[in-house]
């Protein structure tokens, strides 16, 4: 093993400790790579600063400037092999690649960079088949994988989770695995493991019993949508409690996995789960008493990250767990038409009883103006770094009802907020409140999205303190030339790395038509703007503007436009057929997704 490989291994084994990174930086300096050393130091320094601060912005600028100049050289041949990638604190951290590339060259990647998260897809960009899974896990390159995150691009194409579990359990040399969050599981006929798309008792028992998996710290088997009610995995919690890694687990997510009521109680009370810091559970038959037992659990005394249903808030609000949780997610209840008075009262009790959260996520649930006002008046969000409020176009929990959200953005509220996500929860009045709120200047990430394009109209946004520290912006809608001018007038666009931007026709209420108000020339001017030269991840949407889509497909085929672009998602909705993509695909290959 070379000296460089020793450093890479040490960093990968202790990803949260910057000591090895900084010592490696000194080594790089001594061996003639001063810019890479400076990049590592700047990136590590940025990570020590609170998000949204000027000091962090300066370090991020320095790191990004160095990465922009040298990224291709530092990646070498991997610049063409990887589908997507992310640098974190000076080194390559997360990658997405094909299994073919992994099988041919994977060992080389792990020897040159301390990669943690690996996502593998087939040559078409979707989930691997079972034979390829077995081949991948058997190869020496898989022994370096710390975070196994293999997810399909299409939810209808799945590989059994059990195939991964059996393969990993059967390879005793897989000793570095820390996180397992496999392909999402969808089971349509209600039988556990039938159809080859779910975990089964045999594969799960093998995985949990494997002595070499004692290193596992994070396990997520959650599904993205509800299973058939007949699914019931009575063995799940018992097998998990006996796992070689059970007492070492720090996060566990079993949403929609068929956890039974006894299993739910076992997770809440079994000492094997006493090390958990993060929990997300559902169980078919769990009732109020079961949820109360979870929230009052002495076993789960270390939990600080929790997902809770809105209808469970009354049991949670004054619980022992509520006094410890700092990262809270509140999900909608199954019955959206129920009386929400208990929810609102529970929120008020929670605000009075619980300490300020650092991350707060509210999904498809509107607590109402009274609750949001109480949050502001109690200064309950004084420590919040990330705030996410999302609705859904099918339920419209915030349509015309954003008064509560607007009350949050007043005066000096939320002085530490750096990440704001408003999905189906933003309108012109919210934008006006944001424009008057001084905290907008601190935002590093802002999303004002909906299920189709977005809710951020630049021509309607004239902030008193402009958002000059943004690195991530989603939901920008350009309908008119004024919108385009307003977007280009935003300060420090050169800091943007991730951008979601849509070009849309203007809706004519009397006729029901969408009329083009923005010309292809103006759209091209936006994309060619020097301010966007550092964008690496771009999503472009089009709505009734086929001429604009065709022009931009041609413009982006030029490698000199957005020279750092790594991934492009190019999509149209309704009267917007996709233009020819041959030239654009020749530039980006499988890094282009078009729909």
Q: Are residues 192 and 319 in the same domain?
A: no
Q: With left for phi above 0 and alpha for psi between -120 and 50, is residue 190 left, alpha or beta?
A: left
* C-beta separation of 442 from 493 below 8 A: no
Residues in a beta bridge with 233: 259
Long-range contacts of 264-268 (CB under 8 A, 24+ apart): 264/237, 264/290, 264/294, 265/290, 265/293, 266/237, 266/238, 266/241, 267/237, 267/240, 267/294, 268/293, 268/294, 268/297, 268/299, 268/300
Q: Are residues 259 and 326 in the same domain?
A: no
Residue 253 φ then ψ, to 5°: -130, 120
Q: Are residues 269 and 224 in the same domain?
A: yes
Q: Are residues 368 and 500 in the same domain?
A: no
pLDDT in tens, 531-561: 999 999 999 999 999 999 999 999 999 999 9
Residue with tokens 């492009």: 568
Q: Is residue 203 in some structural domain?
A: yes
| Residue, of 21 and 510, whose pLDDT is higher | 21
Q: Is residue 86 in some structural domain?
A: no
Q: Are residues 452 and 474 in the same domain?
A: yes
**The predicted structure's pLDDT at residue 464:** 87
Q: Is residue 522 in some structural domain?
A: yes
Residues in a beta bridge with 445: 419, 472
Helix axes 99-112, 3-13, angle to 10 degrees: 110
265 pLDDT tier (thresholds 50, 70, 90)? very high
**The predicted structure's pLDDT at residue 398:** 93
**The predicted structure's pLDDT at residue 224:** 56
Q: Are residues 51 and 173 in the same domain?
A: no
Q: Which two tokens stand for residue 446?
A: 């802002």
Closest CA to 186 of 176, 196, 197, 175: 197
Q: Are residues 160 and 297 in the same domain?
A: yes
- Per residue, the 3-state secondary structure of 539-575, as one string, reads EEEEECCHHHHHHHHHHCCCCCCCCCCCEEEEEEECC
255 pLDDT tier (thresholds 50, 70, 90)? confident
- Rounded distance between C-alpha atoms, residue 52 and residue 445, angstroms: 9
* Predicted confidence (pLDDT) at residue 115 exceeds the cutoff of 90: yes
Q: Are residues 541 and 495 in the same domain?
A: yes
Q: Are residues 357 and 489 in the same domain?
A: no
Q: Which of 425, 459, 486 is the last residue of a domain?
A: 425
Percent of the chain at pLDDT above 90? 79
| Residue, of 582 and 161, whose pLDDT is higher | 582
Helix axes 19-30, 34-48, angle to 10 degrees: 160
Q: Is residue 313 in some structural domain?
A: yes
* Predicted confidence (pLDDT) at residue 349 exceeds the cutoff of 80: yes
Q: Are residues 593 and 455 in the same domain?
A: yes
Averaged pLDDT, 242-251: 98
Helices (H), 354-504: 369-377, 403-408, 428-436, 481-488
Its domain, for residue 13, covers: 3-72
pLDDT in tens, 80-107: 999 999 999 999 999 999 999 999 999 9
| Residue, of 396 and 65, whose pLDDT is higher | 65
Q: Are residues 294 and 358 in the same domain?
A: no
Averaged pLDDT, 259-267: 95
Q: Which of 390, 425, 460 is the last residue of a domain?
A: 425
* Predicted confidence (pLDDT) at residue 157 exceeds the cutoff of 60: no
**The predicted structure's pLDDT at residue 413:** 94
Type and span of the H or E element at 68: helix 54-75
For the chain, the domain total comes to: 4
Q: Which two tokens stand for residue 321?
A: 């767990």
Domain CATH code at residue 193: 3.80.10.10
Full-model pTM: 0.93
* C-beta separation of 330 from 363 below 8 A: yes
E-strand ranges in 479-536 read 498-504, 506-508, 513-515
Q: Is residue 538 in some structural domain?
A: yes
**The predicted structure's pLDDT at residue 190:** 31
Averaged pLDDT, 271-290: 92
185 pLDDT tier (thresholds 50, 70, 90)? very low
Residue 235 φ then ψ, to 5°: -90, -10
* C-beta separation of 317 from 350 below 8 A: yes
Q: Is residue 91 in some structural domain?
A: no
* Predicted confidence (pLDDT) at residue 159 exceeds the cutoff of 80: no
| Residue, of 57 and 191, whose pLDDT is higher | 57
Q: Is residue 82 in some structural domain?
A: no
340 pLDDT tier (thresholds 50, 70, 90)? confident
* Predicted confidence (pLDDT) at residue 201 exceeds the cutoff of 80: yes
> End-to-end CA distance of the chain, in Å?
45
Q: Are residues 285 and 311 in the same domain?
A: no
Q: How far is CA 85 from CA 78, 79, 90, in A?
A: 10, 9, 13
* Predicted confidence (pLDDT) at residue 428 exceeds the cutoff of 70: yes
**The predicted structure's pLDDT at residue 511:** 86
Q: Which of 279, 303, 327 is the last residue of a domain?
A: 303
* Mean of pLDDT over the chain: 91
* C-beta separation of 111 from 78 below 8 A: no
Find the range with the poorest average confidence among 54-63, 109-118, 141-150, 181-190.
181-190
Averaged pLDDT, 349-363: 96
Q: Is residue 99 in some structural domain?
A: no
């Amino acid at each position: 093993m070379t000296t460089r490989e020793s450093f890479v291994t040490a960093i990968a084994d202790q990803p949260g400790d910057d000591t090895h990174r900084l010592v490696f930086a000194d080594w790089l300096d001594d061996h003639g790579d001063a810019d890479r050393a400076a990049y590592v130091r700047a990136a590590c320094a940025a990570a020590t600063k609170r998000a949204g601060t000027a000091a962090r912005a300066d370090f991020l600028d320095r790191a990004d400037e160095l990465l922009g100049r040298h990224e291709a050289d530092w990646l070498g041949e991997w610049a063409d092999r990887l589908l997507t990638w992310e640098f974190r604190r000076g080194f390559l951290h997360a990658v997405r690649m094909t299994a073919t590339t992994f099988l041919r060259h994977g060992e080389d990647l792990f020897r040159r960079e301390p990669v943690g998260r690996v996502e593998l897809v087939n040559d078409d960009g979707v989930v691997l088949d079972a034979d390829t899974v077995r081949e991948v896990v058997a190869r020496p390159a898989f022994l370096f994988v710390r975070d196994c995150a293999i997810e399909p691009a299409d939810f209808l194409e799945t590989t059994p989770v059990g195939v991964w579990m059996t393969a990993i359990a059967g390879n005793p040399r897989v000793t570095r695995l820390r996180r397992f969050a496999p392909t999402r599981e969808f089971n349509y006929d209600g039988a556990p493991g039938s159809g080859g798309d779910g975990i089964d008792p045999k594969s799960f028992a093998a995985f949990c019993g494997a002595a070499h998996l004692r290193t596992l710290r994070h396990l997520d088997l959650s599904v993205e949508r509800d299973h058939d009610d007949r699914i019931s995995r009575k063995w799940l919690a018992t097998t998990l409690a006996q796992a070689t890694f059970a007492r070492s687990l720090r996060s566990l997510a079993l949403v929609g996995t068929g956890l039974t009521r006894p299993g739910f109680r076992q997770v809440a009370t079994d000492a094997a789960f006493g090390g958990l810091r993060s929990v997300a559970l559902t169980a078919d038959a769990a009732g109020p008493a079961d949820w109360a037992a979870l929230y009052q659990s002495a076993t789960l005394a270390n939990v600080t990250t929790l997902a809770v249903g809105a209808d469970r808030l009354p049991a949670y609000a004054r619980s022992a767990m509520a006094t410890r949780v700092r990262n809270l997610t509140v999900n909608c209840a199954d019955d959206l038409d129920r009386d929400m008075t208990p929810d609102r009262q529970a929120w008020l009790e929670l605000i009075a009883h619980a300490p300020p959260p650092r991350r707060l996520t509210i999904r498809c649930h509107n607590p109402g103006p009274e609750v949001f006002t109480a949050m502001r008046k109690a200064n309950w969000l004084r420590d919040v770094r990330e705030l996410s409020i999302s609705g859904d176009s099918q339920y419209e929990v915030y349509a015309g009802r954003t008064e509560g959200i607007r009350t949050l953005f007043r005066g000096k509220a939320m002085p530490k907020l750096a990440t704001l996500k408003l999905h189906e929860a933003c309108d012109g009045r919210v934008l006006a409140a944001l424009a008057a709120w001084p905290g907008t200047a601190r935002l590093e990430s802002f999303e004002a999205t909906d299920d189709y394009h977005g809710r951020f109209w630049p021509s309607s946004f004239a902030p008193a303190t402009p958002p000059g520290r943004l690195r991530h912006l989603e939901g920008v809608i350009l309908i008119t030339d004024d919108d385009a001018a307003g977007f280009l007038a935003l300060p420090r666009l050169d800091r943007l790395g991730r951008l979601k931007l849509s070009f849309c026709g203007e809706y004519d209420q009397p006729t029901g038509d969408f009329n083009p108000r923005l010309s292809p020339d103006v759209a091209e001017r936006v994309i060619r703007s020097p301010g966007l030269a550092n964008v690496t991840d771009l999503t472009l949407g089009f709505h009734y503007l086929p001429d604009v889509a065709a022009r931009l497909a041609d413009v982006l085929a030029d490698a000199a436009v957005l020279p750092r672009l790594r991934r492009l998602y190019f999509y149209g909705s309704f009267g917007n057929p996709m233009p020819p993509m041959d030239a654009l695909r020749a530039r980006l290959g499988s890094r282009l997704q078009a729909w």
